[in-house]
Structure 1
């Protein structure tokens, strides 16, 4: 094993994908001491079964090493019709991907004198961390956001194994106090858990003017814009936001919900928009550029992500988008669920509500649209909250942890 504290980060979800975990990993790499971070990522979205737009440009300009394979895990496919199909997939798809991933990982560990491997997705990549440690002696770290340890798995699946993997790790990072306590409750030794709370790059996510060109491009120049940003998956609550929108329109006919991002729930959300008759006042943008992402934050009257805990326990581990919106001096609405309670100071930087029920969402949206003084107070407090939670400090924490593991 190398005594070097250089770290190899392995992540299925990585920039230029827009989303909390992707932003977390990119920020750690960007602000780490030069030459200490390398990344193994993917060129293809495993859940959308489509290429990741803009990865070549990102990797050329990011300032740190990124190596990509087509996939790091098996793509999402329909359930196998029978055991024969399951065996075929295992032999023809799963194992070839795994061999390629392991080979590239070992190559990167050697080339970059890696002493620590950080696995960004426990569920799909724990096997890689364990095998890399066994073959090379690197220290093994898992980056835990929350849903990996709150989601209930069916009997016989990964659910029983994840605690074994976590207990064998050299270190486990928790992104919020909620996630840390969940890990402790599951029996992970507290001394092995390191709290590195999510933060925001306030040199990028900072106050700025409303982008009129952005508004015109999406046809919302004369609307009262509410912005939501994130991967289109169930726990983010975009479906509940759409269900709430007719009630918002009753009070504010000029309100418009702009949902920025992409994900496996997109087709379902499009159907919901049509079902509720709100096509004229709800827009799904799909993936956008970094510049347009910033324009979206700055151009809304406030930000909302109606996150909730699903029946299987899947929940937000933190909710980095809330801090990014605060950094752009925007008030936020979020769900009183998971780690969002660590990201939002209720009635100070935003509103925490029960987002299981669309009527609660509508009430909160109408309240902020009605009350300009409240919006201004929340956004001013939110900006100070963002400034107090900088990625520079968190990146230093991460690097110091890597150094401590190889001593």
Structure 2
């Protein structure tokens, strides 16, 4: 059995369930994680987890565990592993997800190091064409970069048609994402202040925590939306699914941050579609690739709260179409974003890195 060495700067933030799935679903390989920091180990149990205190230790530990190929999760992890990769001559793929392709290299003066990585690394994966274009713009050879959509566990999400019965008047909207600028929660609040003037029977639950919390609280009070908004904070994955199950509409107002941070393809949109929720979101980064515009989702222009308000009003005023949108979204995710299919594709990529040695 071949050994894949997974490189992370931290194992594992609670928001990076998709990284965990990439590691554990490939049971045809012995998976060993090398990391500088360990968190949430009980949430993400794994057989082989190695903490690296100093960068110089990585080469020795890769040799000790007889690693055959490297999978670096995010660009900074790849830079961390690059010297060891060169020393040992181990093939490496790097999966970029969003901030590491646009924000990180420019804020941290890492563009030249990335260009060296593009020369030395064998393969680079991105969750969307938008992130692929970011790598190409920094000089990544086109023949080295591919789009590899993230998958979700379809069976974890119970599909249910969304309806609004005669007794139920409040339309429940949910948004899931860290409280950071690129998630656009501040724009969603602005949009809902416009919506409220025409349709006031709604309630929004925002799931997530982050540095924008107090700013959002202040904005909610300023816009007099405190009766319509609930900031739920960080929830366990099972609790998030429960919130999704109770909602009528999912909305994510993603936007490019002032510091250049951007989305890849938000997993929350895939999970919401798998649950049967109609989607309202923005034409930002990989989001148009993760939905079927006009069939599973209505998309607004990025950074335009007025347009977002109009799209929300359009969806809210047509509950008879929610089932149609939800059904189309579930089918789209099952066909194109199934974690089992993604694991098979990643398995084949590993074998390709190993020269198709399947022993």
Q: What TM-score do the two structures reach when normalised by structure 1?
A: 0.77
- 187-196 or 387-396, which deviates more: 187-196
Does 1:32 pair with 2:29? no
1:313–1:42 distance in 2 versus 1, CA, 3 Å? same
Whether 2:11 is the aligned partner of 1:17: answer no
What's the counterpart of residue 403 of structure 1? 351
Q: 1:134 aligns with which of 86, 89, 94?
A: 86
Give how far 1:66 is off.
5.8
- Is residue 306–residue 335 contact of structure 1 (8 Å, CA) maintained in 2? yes
Q: In the TM superposition, what is the alpha-carbon distance from 1:272 to its structure 2 partner?
A: 2.0
1:190 is displaced (CA, Å) by: 2.1
Residues 1:334 and 1:111: Cα distance change in structure 2 (over 3 Å): farther
Query: How many equivalent residue pairs?
Result: 349
- How far does the alpha carbon of each residue in 1:115-156 deviate from its partner, in whole angstroms, 9 at most, with x for none? 22222221x333322122134332222111233233386588
Does residue 70 of structure 2 align to residue 117 of structure 1? yes
Work out the CA distance in 2 between the residues paired with 1:336 and 1:172.
Answer: 24
Q: What are structure 1's unaligned runs of at least 5 residues?
A: 45-51, 70-98, 211-220
Equivalent position SS for 1:151: helix
SS in 1 for 2:155: coil
The residue aligned with 2:165 is none
Equivalence map 1:361-376=2 (5 Å): 361-376=308-323
Deviations 1:137-194 (A, max 9, x none): 3222211123323338658822343233223211111211222233334432222113
Matches of residues 190-339 of structure 1 in structure 2 within 5 Å? 190-208=142-160, 223-339=170-286
Q: 1:244 to 1:156 in 2, by over 3 A?
A: closer
Distance 2:321 2:85 in 1: 52
**What is the 5 A alignment of 1:7-156?**
7-12=4-9, 17-18=14-15, 22-33=16-27, 36-41=30-35, 55-60=40-45, 64-65=46-47, 67=49, 100-102=53-55, 105-106=58-59, 109-110=62-63, 112-122=65-75, 124-151=76-103
State the alpha-carbon separation in 2 of the partners of residues 103 and 280 from structure 1.
Answer: 55
List per-residue Cα deviations over 1:16-56 (Å, max 9, x = no partner).
613xxx13212212321155323345767xxxxxxx6xx24
Q: Distance in 2 between matches of 1:59 and 1:337?
A: 30
**1:6 alignment partner, one of 3, 23, 28:** 3
State the shift of 1:307 in Å.
0.7
* Matched residue SS, 1:250: coil
CA distance in 1, matches of 2:262, 2:107: 20
Contact 1:334 1:353 in 2 (8 A): yes
Cα RMSD, aligned residues only: 2.7
**Alpha-carbon distance change, 156 to 238 in structure 1, aligned in 2, over 3 angstroms:** closer
TM-score (norm 2): 0.87
8 Å CA contact 1:236–1:308 kept in 2: the answer is: yes
CA contact (8 A) 1:260 1:287 kept: yes
CA separation of 1:294/1:40 partners in 2, compared to 1, >3 Å: closer, same or farther? farther
